[in-house]
Structure 1
Amino acid sequence: MIVLRKWQADCLDKAKAHYQCHRDYFVQATPGSGKTRLAAELAKWLLEEQLIDFVICFAPTREVVAGMQRTFSAVLDQRFGNVIASAGAAYTYQSMEYQQEEFWDIFKKFRVLAIFDEIHHCAGHDPLLSNTWGQQIIRNIQDQATYTLGLSGTPWRSDDLPIALARYSDPEGQLICDYRYDLQSAVNEGVCRAPRITLIDNPLIRLVEEKENTESVRGFSCFSQLLSESPVSYEDLLRHDDILNAVLDIGIHQLSETRHKTPQAGGLVVATDIEHAHQIAAILNAKHQSYVVVTSKTPRAQQLIDRFRHDNTCWIVAVSMISEGTDIQRLSVCCYLSRIRTELHYRQVLGRILRKMGTDDREAWLYVIAEPTLRKYSQRIANDLPEDQSTLQAKKLNDRLTKSHAEHADGNTEGAKESEDNPLSVKEQNGKRELQVTEASLLTLSFSQYYRQYLLSLM
């Protein structure tokens, strides 16, 4: 028998008391802390007390739905899914708008616990200020379900719309949670790994502009200055071979160190799009790293993710596939190379590497380019943790990385193809990586042979 974590047991007790007088229960718990197990235990108690007949779950992706079905089947010790004599089933939010009327009749004819994983995807308190999924909840579940359980690790929305079924203070508009479990508590209690976020910068950047037979050279001391004072974009950096090599070298080195202690440990690279994912995969292949690529266009992507969950492959390169709720415990290193720069997405990606495999599994490593917005989010995460564990340090890379990067800089590699979304692109011409703006203006971007790490030590 698996013993519940302290926060799960405490939250479960409060939910039992809450449901005596109220229908809706909202839980905010940091990603990777075990929200699905909590939900399954609550469902088990309600079924055993004969307070409900069925459990219906909704989640943002098929991968998360499959994980919920596995957990609920194990905890309830009975069938859970679209099979005869099951205790309930789990569905994606996308499936809501395609359900027949007979499906929604379940909420009217039976006593149902409705569970919403990462409910921040569902917006709205009324049909006029709701997205499609929020409208379905308002129309078919809100006043019909016997009980509801809303779960979220990041309970806010980029569009500032209210979250379905949530309550807010008046007039401040602050979300009211029935139970909160933050990252600081999870780290202190050994529930989650301690995140160590490393911001990667370069102190010597040269940008050469050739225009109408003239040449101008500008120097930049960091990526932040480059992005604010030149036409170079953040996505250009993400697609630049030199930068990709530097970030991946750091990640590979850390994963190698981690696998000495935990041989099954794996790494995640979050890519920007399919083309970018294969550019990253080619670099990993050249560095003799085992890997798998999963995107929305990958055949049998879910099977590949499940195989990676249990095998010994070093890296999984993903585009919007290893996201919130995806449970791969052996992931402990992540290179964040996505163009998405929202705090919700950034924190959810961090959550993919916070799940622990054992008592000695204490640290997770996230590597990210020192872009100003991502630096701000990183600092906010540091501020959520104990002050003595949130120091900002600067240090050079070790000799091995410097040598590796210098060797790569001397070779000729195939440049990235032009991005459809950006007028600038990284191309290879005569062994030099160049940012092509127009036919009459050419930008050549070069870096020093070493990068600098700014380590947010969050143990």
Structure 2
Amino acid sequence: MLRIWQQECADAAINKYLSGERNFFCQAAPGAGKTVLAATIASRLLELNCVDLVLCFSPSRTIADGMKATFSAILGRPLSGALGSVGQSMTYQSLQFVDEEFLLELRRYRVFAVFDEIHHCAGSEIGDCNVWGKQVLAKIQKVASYSLALSGTPWRSDALPIVMANYTDELGTLRVDYQYTLKQAVTDNVCRSPKIVLVDSNQLSVVGIETSQSFTSVAEMLKRTGNSYQHVIHNQEAMVHLLKLACEKLNHLRIHNPNAAGLVVATSVEHALQIEQLLISEFGQSTVIVTYKHEQPLAEIERFRNSSKQWIVSVGMISEGTDIPRLQVCCHLSAIKTKLYFRQVLGRVLRVSSNVQQEAWLFTFAEQNLVEFAERIEQDIPEACVWVKPETICDAEDVQVLRNWTCGNAIGENDPSSIVDWKVGSSDLVSKQASKHSDELSLQAFKQRVISAFG
């Protein structure tokens, strides 16, 4: 049975298509049920004899497989791309391998194209596109009779325009055809109401070869010293304290929900291994770790989804689109500090399940940007997230980490079935730079601030 918002959005999309318009853009909170919505619209278009084939595109193999399963169940026909199927679900990366012969064959049919997490595809025309955006504009836009663009976080950290999106003014304010906000989803019990714990320290000291400085907050220390945020998330004292809070919360949730689980988003493989060891040795937790160095990370994620293990530690593998409803606690320990990534990480614990307690907790440090994002979590599309064509995309310390991520050129470039390559090189580089820093950072007298959204 459809949720009310899904029914409303499906009706709006069908009405727009029948009026002669080809494109529809839906922004809905992470975990609200966008895939079921898309499959429902596809089913109605097929019933109305408006389309012959359905093509789904998404940023990872995990999401593509999930869409294939959902569409096949709702349409009652396979979405395998094989003979007898109603279409195919593929990654954006695989689009570059679609040849002209296949596109010519598609022109014989009426195609409904679904673009999930469309914010990964940038550009308004071929000349200003990233790799994925160029493939969408050059190939699929030409053959699609109707298209549906979906996103829970419809903006980009590099402020490029999103493919298939409309902007209402010179500032580039995004216009969507239907919006289902996080506040609405929480009110409707479709998503969990998030609580964000910002961990800080009253007593920080930075001891160098010849100097020693003291500070009363993480933000002050970062502002007044040459230390970067990476030195905080790699600090042993800081990690132990934050992980302790998160483990205590998860243990409390598991009293009523024995299957509840937690996610730690790390910044590098080395960092992830360090975190996993702390979870085991300091807190006696059961863990799984997934990184780009694993031979079958997607299979490992699937095993965790169906297990009762407490924690999964990830490097760039579970930031977006991965459906693990038993996740209720998350530790954001990534070096990436952008609105987009923050929202995507938070989204992993917002999906409701059948458990008794539907709490969602995110633990991170009180770095200035992250504090700002937490305070504005009730804004589904932050005012700053518009297309403005800036000369630079972010703070200097984030540029290296974001270079591959925001441009799209390296997302899954070496492996069309996944997106594990999107920040690997840069994250490992940051980790090595942090370990080479000569200053010794000490954090004590911890405190925390809890932001309860929609409270």
Q: Tell me, yes or no, if structure 1 residue 421 matches structure 2 residue 430.
A: yes
Equivalence for 1:259 = 254
1:18 maps to which residue? 16
Q: Which residue of 2 aligns with 1:397?
A: none
SS in 2 for 1:317: strand
Structure 2 CA distance for aligned equivalents of residues 422 and 152 of structure 1? 31
After TM superposition, list the pairs within 5 Å mapping 1:114-263 onto structure 2: 114-211=113-210, 216-263=211-258
Residue number in structure 2 paired with 1:312: 308
The residue number in structure 1 matching 2:289 is 293
Q: Secondary structure at the match of 2:123?
A: coil
Deviation at 1:105, TM superposition (A): 2.5
- Name the structure 2 match of 1:5: 3
Q: 1:337 aligns with which of 328, 333, 338?
A: 333
Deviations 1:142-182 (A, max 9, x none): 23211000001111112222111111113342111110111
Question: What is the TM-score with the length of structure 1 in the denominator?
Answer: 0.85
Cα distance in 2 between the residues matched to 1:129 and 1:67: 31
> Residues 103 and 143 of structure 2 are in contact (CA less than 8 Å); yes or no, is this contact kept in structure 1?
no
DSSP 3-state at the match of 2:148: strand
Residue by residue, what CA displacement relative to the aligned partner does 1:302-361 show, whole Å, maximum 9, x if unpaired?
111011111101001011100211111111100000000111111011111100003744
C-alpha distance 7-105 of structure 1, shift in aligned 2 (>3 A): same
Whether the 8 Å contact between 2:271 and 2:431 is mirrored in structure 1 is: no
1:97 to 1:202, Cα distance in 2 relative to 1, 3 A = same
Cα distance, 1:230–1:372 mapped onto 2, change above 3 Å: same
Distance 2:60 2:317 in 1: 9
Report the equivalent of 1:391: none
C-alpha distance in 1 between matches for 2:367 and 2:335 = 11
- The answer for the alignment partner of 2:442 in structure 1 is 446
Give the Cα–Cα distance (whole angstroms) in 2 for the partners of residues 453 and 23 of structure 1: 49
Q: Helix, strand or coil for the counterpart of 1:141?
A: helix
- With over 3 angstroms needed to count, the CA separation of the structure-2 counterparts of 1:48 and 1:348, relative to structure 1, is same
Q: Distance in 1 between matches of 2:370 and 2:40?
A: 36
Q: CA 1:423/1:118 → structure 2, altered by over 3 Å: closer, same or farther?
A: closer
Other structure's SS at 2:371 match: helix
Matched residue type, 2:8: D
Q: What secondary structure does 2:107 align onto?
A: helix
CA distance in 1, matches of 2:364, 2:350: 16
In 2, Cα distance between equivalents of 1:352 and 1:375: 19
Deviation at 1:127, TM superposition (A): 1.0
Flag the structure with more relative contact order, 1 or 2, with Cα contacts below 8 A and sequence separation at least 6: 2
| Residue 103 of structure 1: aligned partner | 102
* Structure 1 residue 419: Cα displacement: 6.7
Moved over 4 A (4+): 382-385
Whether contact under 8 Å (1:190, 1:359) holds in the other structure is no
Work out the CA distance in 2 between the residues paired with 1:85 and 1:361.
Answer: 43
- Tell me which residue corresponds to 1:389: none
Is the 8 Å Cα contact of residues 182 and 378 (structure 2) preserved in structure 1? no
Equivalent residue, structure 2, for 1:368 = 364
Q: Which amino acid counterpart does residue 265 of structure 1 have in structure 2? A: A
| Residue aligning to 2:77 | 78
Assess if the C-alpha contact under 8 Å between 1:268 and 1:334 holds in 2.
yes
How many aligned residue pairs are there?
A: 407
Are residues 111 and 200 of structure 1, via their aligned partners in 2, closer, same or farther at CA, if it must alter by over 3 Å? same
Unpaired segments of 5 or more residues in structure 2?
A: 382-426
**Amino acid aligned to 1:42:** I
Q: Cα distance, 1:422 vs. partner? A: 6.5
Secondary structure in 2 matching 1:4: coil
**Which residues of 2 match residues 349-388 of structure 1 at below 5 A?**
349-358=345-354, 360-382=356-378
Select the structure of larger CA radius of gyration: 1
Aligned-partner Cα distance in 1 for 2:431–2:259: 39
Give the residue type in structure 2 aligned to 1:195: P
RMSD (Å), alpha carbons: 1.8
Report the Cα offset of residue 246 of structure 1. Answer: 0.8
Kindly indicate which of the two structures has a greater share of residues assigned to strand. 1
Distance in 1 of aligned mates of 2:345 and 2:380: 17
**Is the Cα contact below 8 Å between 1:232 and 1:424 reproduced in 2?**
no
Q: 2:112 is aligned with what amino acid? A: L
Contact 1:36/1:71 (8 A) holds in 2: yes
In structure 2, relative to structure 1, the CA distance for the partners of 1:424 and 1:43 (3 Å cut) is closer
1:15-49, Cα deviation, whole Å (9 max, x unpaired): 11111121101001111111011001111111122
1:196 & 1:122 partners in 2: Cα distance? 30
Aligned equivalent of 2:450: 455
Query: TM-score, normalized by length of structure 2?
Result: 0.86
C-alpha change, 1:330 and 1:83, in structure 2 (3 Å) is: same
- Structure 1 unaligned segments of length 5 or more: list them: 386-417, 427-434, 438-442
Q: CA deviation at 1:89?
A: 1.1
